[in-house]
Structure 1
Amino acid sequence: MRTPAALIPALTAALMLASCAEEPAGQDGEAGAGLPDGAPTGQAEQTLATAPDPTGEQLDHEEMREALDTRVFGSITDTDDYWERIRDLNTELQRLAVDPNDCKPYVTASALPVPSSALAAFAEDDQQHTAIYTFPDADAAQAYMDNEQRGAGQCGEHTVTRELDSAQIEATTEIDEVEVLSAADASLGVRQEVSDADGAEHAIGVVLRHQAQVVAVSRSLSEPLDGEEAEESAVELEAEAAAILEDLTGADLEPPEPEPEEDEGEEGE
């Protein structure tokens, strides 16, 4: 299973490694850790094919799908498409080794396609991926943002390893933050490189939170961007994410104007 929110640090590496597992998922006692609230935990409950109903300030799947269908192209999925497999994916994620080890909670939380307590909808169009995460309240949405921001700052380089019967598969993720100007309540810009024995993949993305809603837009790249190119791409992605957030929340999220750079003559005075 490939999650559309590929920009979140460690997602590409973690899911790539998890997908290589040769053992059947869901066979050990670690499966319940890190599951979204309301996820199936018992054998009977695993037959549940749909996610819980929205609570608090959460939007329903129809509202999220409509916002994506209006603004972006590509195939659209939602929480229900992933719900029955979240437990199995989490089991595989718990089997990953992460160096530094302090980054494992961040890696495993980020790699789940649907964050804890959230509902989600995704659009995937060739090289671009868009995700909407809706939370019961603004505090829960900000807790998600805090985890992503801490991870980007503290786990700027980490390695994920998966031990298999016949081999060890390893991938290293490098993360650089990119400045994002936004009128949303919280924002994060990231450029990422994931490398393994077969080469490297690059991506850039922006995550915005406003009220209880989060929108993440990422773009896969054929080669890394330099600082100025990354900032220009971040401006484009921020505008796309903000437009979706405006549809979801009714807020005006016109970004602030960048502060003018100081003239070299003024600096010398």
Structure 2
Amino acid sequence: MRLAGAHVVLTGATGSIGSRLAERLAGRGARLTVTARSAEALDELAARTGALAVPADLADEGGPASLLTSAQDRHGPVDVLVHNAAVEVAGRLEELDADGLAAAVALNVRAPLELTRLALPGMRERRRGHLVLVSSLAGVATFPGLTLYGATKAALTQAAAGLSLDLRGSGVGTTLVEIGPVSSTMMSRVRDHPPTAAAFTRAARLRVLRDLDPDEVAGAVVAAVEANRRHVRLPRRAAVLAATAGLPRAVVRTALVGIEG
């Protein structure tokens, strides 16, 4: 997918990964729409990258539709949709409140699916488009304290697999991003839960995981979109875990549906 001149909508744009994605997408010549809840941080990012800033709370029921309308009014049809927005949740499920649970599901699962549902008809009609779903290795093998977060990311991973089948031959591509811990304030908050922090420490000691640089992730995502690759899995040392977990989907794709790759 050629990014120069393409209209890219990026959610979760002010976070550690999101801001690096915005910079790299702008550097590739994309017409960029960025969204997040914080208007001040979003305006600063837009000023730095030349993007259109559309503050929105995608967990609100009408948030996705409002974002898409504003983005298309200014920049025209959406060519690339990057689902990067997410909220971290660390703790035992029974210790979470109902509002927090609902908000996590709304932002991490419902919002990307609703945005995709709204954007896809136009992409299909133009036979042009790309969807990027930023998931997590927590959707493959979650750690203590990440029950809710891991469940939402597993849902996003499964959605990406289904979309790649539904969109075959349509001209619309998908990229699923499955990543480990990233150096960020988000990860710092996750590690405030002692059992989760201990599990990450053990994984690092065993060299199963390492903290990723946000710019490393952003660079890999942009390269994958341009090359129309279906997966980004980082760190590479843990990629085999995600690939192994995806074997049932691969069997369906090749043996039952008849699609290779």
Q: Same fold (TM over 0.5)?
A: no
Structure with a larger share of its residues in helix: 2
Normalising by structure 2, we get a TM-score of 0.32
Normalising by structure 1, we get a TM-score of 0.31
The higher relative CO (CA closer than 8 Å, separation ≥ 6) is in: 1
Structure number with bigger Rg: 1
